[in-house]
Structure 1
C-alpha cells in the first residue's frame, strides 16, 4: 500500500446542511407553476435579491414556496452560493407575499 495524501471533500460551513458548492459555481432553474401550461405571459416580472442560498436544495425550497402562491406563473433562480442570489417571479403577485414565502422557505430577502 502506498502513502498518499487525499484531498478532503468540502464541508458545509454556512447555508443549508446538505452541501457547500464552490463559491464560483452558479445554477439557474426555471419552474412553471402547476396549471399554467400554454397560458399567455402574465403581467409582472419582479426580481428579488436573496441571501443564504447555497445549493440546489435551497433553490428547490424557495421555488416550491413561491410556486404555491396564487398568481405565480414561473420562478427563476440565479444561484450565487454564499452570495446574493436573484429570484425572478413572473405573474401578478404582491411583493410582500413573495418576500414572506422566501422567508418561510428559510432565506432572507436582501434589501
Structure 2
C-alpha cells in the first residue's frame, strides 16, 4: 500500500481506445514506490465536463494504489458511452469514482464493472 493520494483517469473516445494517466502530488523527491505504482510523471488535468455531458460519483472500497485505481477506471471506461472514468484515490479508505458520459449510465452497470474489476461500491 502506497499511502499516497492520487487521481487516476481513463478516457475513452470509443469502446476500443482507452488511455490512462496518473496525477500524484509531489511533496518530496523519491525514487521509490510500491511495485505496482512506482512514481510517474504528472499529467495534464482531465478535460472539463461540458454542458451536454452528465457526471456521476460512486464511492468505491478497497483501492490501495494507482494500479487499483487504473483497474477500476479501465473497467468502467469500457462501458459504452462513458467518456471519462476518474478515481480520486484514498488509499485504504473510500475512494470516489467520477464517471462522465453523454447520457446517464445505469448505476447497476457501473457497479457490475467495479465488481468485475475486484472491488465494491461503498454502501450509502
Query: TM-score, normalized by length of structure 1?
Result: 0.72
Question: Does residue 105 of the first structure (1) align with residue 117 of the second (2)?
Answer: yes
Supply the distance in 1 between the matched residues of 2:62 and 2:8 (Cα, whole angstroms). Answer: 17
Q: Report the structure number with the largest CA radius of gyration.
A: 1
Determine helix, strand or coil for the equivalent of 2:82. coil
Q: CA deviation at 1:67?
A: 0.9
Structure 1 stretches lacking a partner, 5+ long: 1-19
Query: Per-residue displacement from partner, 1:22-71 (whole Å, max 9, x unpaired)?
Result: 2xx200122211339xxx94531100000000011101111111111011
User: Which residue in 2 is equivalent to 1:26?
Assistant: 5
Supply the distance in 2 between the matched residues of 1:31 and 1:61 (Cα, whole angstroms). Answer: 10
Q: Moved runs in structure 1, 4+ residues, more than 2 A?
A: 40-43
User: Which residue in 1 is equivalent to 2:76?
Assistant: 66
Task: Tell me the matched-pair count.
Answer: 88
Structure 2 stretches lacking a partner, 5+ long: 16-48
Q: CA deviation at 1:98?
A: 0.5
Which structure has more strand as a fraction of its residues?
A: 2
Query: Per-residue displacement from partner, 1:54-91 (whole Å, max 9, x unpaired)?
Result: 01110111111111101101011000010000000001
Q: 1:34 to 1:43 in 2, by over 3 A?
A: closer
